[in-house]
Structure 1
Amino acid sequence: MGGRDQNDQDRRRRGGWWRAAPLLGLYRPALVAVGVGLLFSIVGAAAVARWEDRVNRIEFENAAETQAIVLQNGMNEYISRLLALRTLFESTNEEVTRSEFETFSARLFERHPGMLRISWLPRINRKERADYEAAAIRDGVSSYHIKALQGESFVIAPQSDEYFPVFYSTQPKTSSVYGMDYTTVPERRAVLERARDNDRVAAMRTRLFGPKDSDRPSYVLVVVPVYAKGTSREEIADRRRNIAGVVVGVFDLPLLIQSIRVTTGASPAVSMTVFPPYTAQIVSLEQMLPDYASAASALRSMRDIARTLHWSGSLKIGDTDWQVRAVPTAGGPLATTYDRAVAVLVVGMLLTLSLSTYLMLASRNSRRLSLANRRVLELAQTDILTGLPNRAFFLTRLDEMNGKLSVRGEPFAILMLDLDRFKNVNDSLGHAAGDALLRQVAQRLKSALRANDVLARLGGDEFAIIQQAGEDQRACSTDLAARIAKLVSEPFLLPGHRVEIGTSIGIAIAPDHGSDQEQLLKKADLALYRSKSAGRNCFTVYDEAMSAELEARNTLEGDLRDAIARCQLEVHYQPFVDALSGERRGFEALVRWRHPTRGLIPPDQFIALAEETGLIVPLGEFVLRRACADAAGWPAELMIAVNLSPIQFKEAELFDMICAALADSGLPPQRLEIEITESVLLERGSENHAFMERLKQLGVELALDDFGTGYSSLSYLTAFPFDKIKIDKSFIRNLTQQPRSSAIISSIVTLARGLDMSVTAEGVETPEEFDRLKALGVNFAQGYLFGRPHPIERILFDAPVKSSRLDAA
């Protein structure tokens, strides 16, 4: 090749054309390099600009969607408080007084700006009109009359078959709003009928009738129907017949949304604009002016917003959807600046000075673009927190592996991982620490895998791996599981903390354990469950014996049925003491199962089974009757506390059963304390409220158990008649080292005092914890410091408790 090139050069020189065009030969490579370099620079810059557009759009849309969810959750909180008023009207046997309405409404919305007024509109027929008008005047609403709206002023309403006037309101009693009949305002009548006929919250955009507010349309009127207690509402005819009235709330929408954004720390990088619902009066998008805009310089017209990068959604208020539009804040971190595109163009033009440098950088830029495009495609299948593939990617890849198995017969294994003690980290250190821990776990897991293995985060603290090892798949899978268990058990360093966890692993191998996705995942889960049952921080390969475990569970269920029928269950008692005096004030009843062959079975092995199978109902009745019978023979100052399962609350005969247990034992109702967990209050709210009121009338005390571990909604404390709050033992752990726990307990005690409730601290194990709790104002304490649960024959009623253990007695 070298000789042939030399001969060509000699022929050119002999031809003379080389000498005739020396400049052309000199600058041709440079001109070609400049042309190619300029072309590639422009193309590269354009591609990077498109990539920047895509990445910025994804980040912006995620931020906007998050903001919209926060707005919706905040709005739902306001609506739920109006529903609490509905519960107040539907749960009581007597008429709610004006004072009760005003007090309850004020407490519900005490720290919730944006609620202008709340009103109660009873359904009044023609014969009742005069009585209601007189009653309002007696309550201090002078010159009260049922009024109709004519134009912009009110007149006394003409005679009609029924009225829905403003009877109670949070407005001053001199306000002109009192007596306004909503049926005389067409648009308000329509929303009232919509709420009544559909048995749901209805809303509309409105203005207020008054000289100061007539030009402001950005108010939202929300209507909550209230039906007569105990009546049917299955059909529309039933609802129209049984409607008792409506609760009406009027929101100042801009103030409400701004309050939600300030409270939740909304991102300033996204500008949110809320437009009213679409109506027939809107001719074009240009006419739609926003009800709210987070930025003063925000685009006003919906058409202007549609011409820019934006995100569209909706804000549901009752049965009406407000239109939400979001745009990146000008100059903010989500605004597209094309910095990378400009950099590529400048660098590309500079690099044209040298062909070799240009080619090197062009290759690098090409690779960056490829990675960017690939990243955009993977976003939909990536877990944002850890950067690992998510469940969708994992299931897709598992389908592909099953396809290869059927075609080529290539075996593979699935490893399901669940972190041990991760919930403790979340509960004690917070979710931020939990997120940091998950990221570190993901990095350790990746370090243990090969390039062709698939690692995914399925959600929470669950991970999954697909491993394809070839011939001895079982040995490779167990070796990998052992390495992972060792890696995860090593300490993790979080900011300010050293955390130790473990992992339980379940392994299923294809085709030995199945050949389709559902089979393999189910068997891997069974193996994982075996690992957890075996003590955690270990791995298990699925085998057919696990099916026998299911059979054993069924056997345990049968034994439990027999135990209830044959009275093999026992009731043990744990004392609780007065925090100030240290004197014993009562006992909590705890069930134990003495199996004829397996011995004493702890409750954590059969309570969940009893709840799943419905056996908790006869089991709970046994515990209640035995506890009442035993307590009847105790000193008169000692209480007996019995915990009721949420499943028992669904039984219609529960109240009769409690009455029978008290009557048969002779125990005064005032000495019985019923403990209720928060999960009971989430369903059948009005029915459960009525049930609790019946218990209160009987004289039974009510305690909210495990406060702080569930939803812990303060509305439960105001809406339900509790006498006591029991603080969960998770707050007591490390009480002397964690100032935050002390602050939380102090807040609970202050809240309880304001609501005339007492407070019991569970799980007290050390004198230091007890001293701290006394200083914080706790009324009662319970835990191993004062005694473990014992059968009744081991309880000494004449022994002082103070700060000694009952066990020592």
Structure 2
Amino acid sequence: MGDHDQNDQDRKGVAAWWRASPLLGLYRPALVAAGVGLLFSIAGAAAVARWEDRVNKIEFENAAETEAIVMQNGMGEYISRLVALRTLFESTNEEITRSEFETFSTRLFERHPGMLRVAWLPRVNRKERAEYEAAAITDGVSGYRIKSLQGDDFAPAPQGDEYFPIFYSTQPKTSPVYGMDYASIPERRVALERARDGDRITAIRGRLYEPRESSRLPDVIVAVPVYAKGTSRETIADRRRNLAGYVVGVFDLPLLMQSIRVTTGASPAVSVNIYPPFTGRIVSMAHALPDFASSASAPQSMRDVAQGRHWSGILRIGDADWQVRAVPAAGGSLETVYDRAVAVIIVGMLLTLSLATYLMLASRNSRRLSLANRRVLELAQTDVLTGLPNRAFFLARLDMMNSQLSVRGLPFSILMLDLDRFKNVNDSLGHGAGDALLRQVALRLKSALRATDVLARLGGDEFAIIQEACDNQRGSATELAARIAKLVAEPFLLPGHRVEIGTSIGIAIAPDHGSDQEQLLKKADLALYRSKSAGRNCFTVYDEVMSAELEARNTLEGDLRDAIALCQLEVHYQPFVDVASGGRRGFEALVRWRHPSRGLIPPDQFIALAEETGLIVPLGEFVLRRACADAAAWPSDLMVAVNLSPIQFKEAELFETICAALADSGLPPQRLEIEITESVLLERGVENHAFMERLKQIGIELALDDFGTGYSSLSYLTAFPFDKIKIDKSFIRSLTHQPRSSAIISSIVTLARGLDMSVTAEGVETAEEFERLTALGVNFAQGYLFGRPQPVDQITFDAPARRSQRDAA
């Protein structure tokens, strides 16, 4: 109460003095104006100070968010390069050598600082341990041993069921990390298992077990699971069974972030720091980014950050969320210094000028805010590599076009593009060349479009175009597609290389082919698929027949599943004869499908479908079991030949399936002949060779089917344990009128005789062909001349027909 009474008395004293002084009364208007002006100045300065604080906060948050997006995109680029290494292991048919790994890794990460090393961790079981150790020593890694970490030292790993050692690495071959078993380190083992079971990329912090600076903070270890090519990974059990190993990358996170920010022109006004998951410990980039942050002012914990102006976000590394904290850099443009408020006080009495200054500053800063917001939006909807709009922008624009279609009735076209032979460029010249090619393709596509059309990169080598309303929408779309196909077919000049590719294009037109996003995209994809099937480097406009064909294919697939489940398939047998004696030596088992409504469906209409859908596995097992069961009742001198699909060779239980079919039927293994096509030999060569040796060991004969087509290579005959070569029927058909066919068959017979193999000629239909093959020295013959495929109950097993009788027929 005392202070309040004292203030009242002071105010009364000032008022009395004001009224009593005549001088003050003279200047009273000026003083009043000065007082009012001062009050307005102070009020305006306070308002401007608050506004400056708010504007700087928004500017800072936008700048910080932009930096976070750039860092996340950069991290995504690094992770995608690790995934490219996984693709290398999962797509190749041969074992990746150490030099290939080092070359590919170096190409992927050259000019990408922040990646300390890349390593390959194969899955090594107990029996393979010595083999891997010897192989590494042979490759030049002296004293290579699989070892575990015990304390801070390495020691030979104890015996276990499996290991995940560092086998290939970008480190020098003298590095002590070679052979370190990641599974021997608990936290790394947990991360590997998490990656394997979830088929995902995992990341953990970890220290390196080699000399580094004592002040270095732990690095980030990223693990990418690799599975055996062509194997299933649908369930956890599948992924555990088919795991081949891991691609592991070790990042120097501060250096990596420095590289990303320098490359993208990071704002020096924002200091960015990163916290590991679930801790308050900071991974400061101050020592790595001297231009962007001061080590003296860098916060040391999240509590320090929370006490001042800051922005928080997430940096996703693998399956872990790292915390991003940004603060204004000391002395930067985003630090609030209230200079505008001081200016308002200086010009306080000139309210008009103050207001003009305020409005000018407001306009300028509003524009800055607008530009910052626009930049954030552009980053979210732009493809970083090509600068084109990305999938998100394309889908949003497509939704808008559909809305305009329903209101204004304006038609438009969608063109889906997929580059032909682009993978060859990536595989042969590297991802850097592939990226350069994509940028050139984007420029050519843009040159073919109008300003109102939309071009977007959907991902990989896929592009999409929205062509807005034209007078003749269909004609304009096909004209544009033809122009694009011609442009892309012209050679591209890359550094040191001249590259030629093409593009397949699918076209859908709204509203003719639909009026919603899902319909149009689906139909454009169907048209694109048709273009690829038609030979590539062409375009196709969607037609209702495509949907009908897709529906028919789906119906046929469902019927085939039912036929396999209900055992409605049939096995027919075609004989093959001994050329020397004329007697039958056995039969080839051929599957037939008698559809309840469509009748007999030729194999060429459902075998390919069965292989695409994986139904070939149960179908092949059915044929194998039925053939063995039928052949067991035949005379003991007759064999049965069964074809195996390349898809079946990828099944881990195929050998057990064959043994079970023999055991259940009682057929001796020596009477079973397995026919293998050359395409099987192109993949998993080591595994398939071992599998074929196991078949040979139990007495099964092996035949190389359709020899002379596809990728025929003489190396197959010496590398794989075949007993027989089956010459493709395309050579037999031209035998009587093309001398070159006779020369080829003669060479095959001579080669087979030298390798102690027999030769079977397929597709023999005339006596003239048979006589010519006999003269050329083939051992067996098969074709309509000796019998068509027929059910087992229509085959008679009497004494072998004499050659003279057959010739008379």
Query: TM-score scaled by structure 1?
Result: 0.47
Query: TM-score scaled by structure 2?
Result: 0.47
Structure having the higher Rg: 2
